[in-house]
Copies of this chain bind each other. A is one copy, B any other.
Amino acid sequence: MYRDKTCGELRIEDCGKEVTLSGWVQRTRKMGGMTFVDIRDRYGITQVVFNNEVNEELCESANKLGREFVIQVKGTVAERSSKNNNIPTGEIEIIASALTILNKSDVPPFTIEDNTDGGDDLRMKYRYLDLRRPAVRSNIELRHKMAFEIRRYLDSENFLEIETPILVKSTPEGARDFIVPSRMNPGEFYALPQSPQLFKQLLMVSGFDRYFQIAKCFRDEDLRADRQPEFTQIDCEMSYVEQDDVIMMFEGLVKHIFKYVKGIEFNDKFQRITWHDAMKYYGSDKPDMRFDMKFVELTDLVKGKGFAVMDDAELTVGICAKGCAGYTRKQTDELTDFVKRPQIGAKGLVWVKIDEQGGIKSSVGKFFTDEQIKEWADRMGAENGDLLLIMSGDAMKTRKMLCELRLEMGNRMGLRDKNVFAPLWVVDFPLFEWDEETQRYYAMHHPFTSPNPEDIPLLTTDPGKVRATAYDIVVNGTELGGGSIRIHDSELQDQMFEILGFTKEKAQEQFGFLMSAFRYGAPPHGGLALGFDRFVSILAGLDSIRDVIAFPKNNSGRDVMNESPSPIDPAQIDELNLAITLPQE
C-alpha cells in the first residue's frame, strides 16, 4: 500500500502521528522558507509543509512539483497555525519528512477545481480529468450510493435482481433498435434492448414474483438535449398485484432513497392526480408541484363580452401570481414576449393587476368592466396585490402554453427551489392516443398495458375514453418513471392488438414468444421503470443527466474522449457478411 491514510481523514486528534499519504498535487505555494503543497485524493485535501531550513533538499524537490503530479508523502501530523475552516482537514498539516514522485503530469488542459476554466467540449475530451473535480466526483458518488440503497430496499422487500440479456431479438417495428450482426449466424442480427419489458414479463410467467434490475437500455434515437443512446433504468415487475400495490411499493423506494441518501423524510403519502386533472389544472402530465398556481378556467365568464380573442376561443384559462401586482410594464411585456417565443407560440397574453387597494388595471380594460374582471379574480381566489395571467385558444394548446408560463412564473418567484422535492403520482392515463396522421390508435404506454377494468366495455364503443391502469411518478416537474398493470388475459390482449391495428400474424411475429408464454399460466402482474440517470440528476440538483454518467456521449452519440463510434477494419465487416454502402463522394 502506498498510503496508510487518505487525504480526507486526518483531524486535530491525529497530531503527532507518523503518516503516509498519496495523491495528486492540487497546488503548491512558496512562502519565505516554507513550501506548502495541497495533496488531493477522492477523500479530500491535506496540506503538506516543507521547511527549507530543516531539509533543503526535500524542500527543493517540493518546489519542483507541478499541478497533478502524483506524489507520496511521509510526515508527522501537526496543528496548523492558521486554520482553514472550509475543509475537514483544515486544522492540521503534515510536516513532511519524505517525498516520492510516483508519476509526473503534463500541465492539464484546464484547472481541476470546481470553478474550472475548461469549456464543455474540452472537459468532455478529457473526461478523465473532469472526473477529478470534486463537483463531478460527488455526482458519481451519489449515483453509487443511490444504486446501493435501491438494492438494499428492494432486497429487503424480497425482490430478486435478475440480469436479462443485452443481445436480444430485434423487433421488426423497432426501427430504432441498435443492431448487432452475428458472425456465427450470417445475415442475422441481435438487437440491444430498449428495455427489458418482454423479459420481465416472462420472469413473471416464470414465477419470480418480485423482479428488479438496474438495467442498461439502448435507443438509437436522434438525441435531444438530454438523451443518451445508452441509459440506465431501475426496472421492476411484481406478480399478484394491483395498481395500488405497485404504487405503494415504489413510493416506499423513493422515500427510502430520499431518507438514506438525502436525509429527507416524507411522512405523508405522495399526492396523486389523474392525468385528466393534471392536464386541466397544470397543462402537463408532469406538473411541478413545488408550487400551486393552479389553472382556473374562465371561459364562461369571458365569452360574449365583445372581445373577439376570448369569444372565439375554446378555452380561456389563467393563473394567479401571488403578490406580483407590482410587476412593471417591462416585466409584463417580458412575459408576453416569453409566451410569444416560437417554442411556445402564443399570440398574446392578458394580464390583470389587482393593487394593494383592490384597484384593477389590465391589458383588456377596453373590453371588460372592473366588475367583470372582479368576477374573474374571485374565481381565481385572487387577493389584493396579485397578478392574473390569462390565455385563450384551443384547449389543449392553450393549457400547454400556460403550463410554460406557470413554470416561468415559478422560476421568477423563486418557487422552484432545487432543495425542495415534490413527488407526485399521475394516474388514469388514457389507454390510447389517436394519431390524426395515420388515423389510428397507438398505445400510450405499450400494448400490454391493462385497461382500467371499469372501462373495458368502452373498448368496443369509445376506445379513446378508456383509462389505462398506468401511472407515472413525477418529481419537480420531471417524469421520474412510470409503469402499468399488464394484461394477463390472452383474449383481452387479442382485443388490444386488434384496436391497435396489429394483425394476428404481426402480433405473433413481434411478440410471439411472449404470447406463447402467456398460454402457460401468466399471473396477474404489473410494474414500473424509473429512469436512474434522471433520478440521480434530480437528487444532485442538476438539469442534465450527462453529469451523473461517468462516460457520457454527446448529442451526436459520440464519445469524444475515445472517438467512438469509429471506422473499423474492412476485414471485420467482411467476416460479418456485410458491406458499407456509403455514397462515394
Contacts and interface: CB of A to CB of B under 8 A. Distances in A.
A581 interface: yes
A356 B55 CA distance: 76
A90 to B, nearest CB: 20
Interface in A86-131: 102-106, 108, 126-129, 131
Contacts of A22: 239-240, 523
B183 A220 contact: yes
Given A70-B521, A206-B129, A577 B575 contact: no
B187 A160 contact: no
Interface stretch (A140-148, A338-346, A454-462, A539-547): A140-148
A144 B160 contact: yes
A333 interface: no
Interface string A149-183: 00100010000111111111110100101111111
A509 to B, nearest CB: 10
A228 B175 CA distance: 27
Interface stretch (A273-281, A298-306, A425-433, A565-573): A565-573
**How many copies of the polypeptide does the oligomer hold?**
2
A228 B137 CA distance: 34
Interface string A192-233: 100000110011011111000000101010110000011010
Chain A binding surface SS class: loop
Interface in A547-585: 549-551, 553, 556-559, 561-569, 571-572, 574-582
B105 A568 contact: no
Nearest to A188: B565
A1 interface: yes
A151 B146 CA distance: 13
Interface stretch (A256-264, A391-399, A512-520): A512-520
B137 A208 contact: yes
Interface string A67-80: 01110000000000
A421 to B, nearest CB: 24
Interface in A307-354: none
A383 interface: no
A144 B162 contact: yes
Nearest to A517: B128
A222 B105 contact: no
A232 B163 contact: yes
A288 to B, nearest CB: 29
A1 B179 contact: no
B550 A164 contact: yes
Contacts of A40: 207
B209 A175 contact: no
A524 interface: yes
A185 interface: yes
Contacts of A523: 2, 22, 24, 70, 102-103
Given A185-B556, A564-B167, A42 B520 contact: no
Interface residues on A, range: 35 or more
A187 B578 CA distance: 12
Contacts of A148: 151, 155, 161
Contacts of A574: 581
A465 interface: no
A451 to B, nearest CB: 17
B557 A488 contact: no
Q: Interface centre among A126, A160, A561, by most B CB within 10 Å?
A: A160
A186 interface: yes
A499 interface: no
Contact of A581 (B164, B230, B239, B579): B579
B575 A189 contact: no
Nearest to A2: B240
A404 interface: no
A513 B172 contact: no
A129 B568 contact: no
A360 to B, nearest CB: 55
A162 B163 CA distance: 17
A105 B520 CA distance: 4
Contact of A184 (B129, B242, B557): B557
Given A230-B167, A521-B105, A576-B179, A131 B513 contact: no
Interface of A: 1-3, 22, 24, 40-42, 68-70, 102-106, 108, 126-129, 131-132, 137, 140-141, 143-144, 147-148, 151, 155, 160-170, 172, 175, 177-192, 198-199, 202-203, 205-209, 216, 218, 220, 222-223, 229-230, 232, 239-242, 245, 488-489, 513, 517, 519-524, 549-551, 553, 556-559, 561-569, 571-572, 574-582
Given A137-B208, A179-B180, 17 more contacts: A2-B523, A24-B207, A105-B519, A105-B520, A126-B520, A140-B160, A162-B550, A165-B551, A167-B229, A167-B553, A169-B564, A170-B565, A172-B568, A183-B220, A187-B580, A188-B566, A216-B216
11 contacts: A24-B523, A104-B521, A137-B208, A141-B160, A143-B162, A163-B550, A167-B178, A167-B565, A179-B572, A180-B180, A188-B567
Q: Which 7 A-B pairs have the closest CB atoms?
A: A169-B564, A105-B521, A131-B206, A2-B240, A188-B565, A182-B565, A68-B521
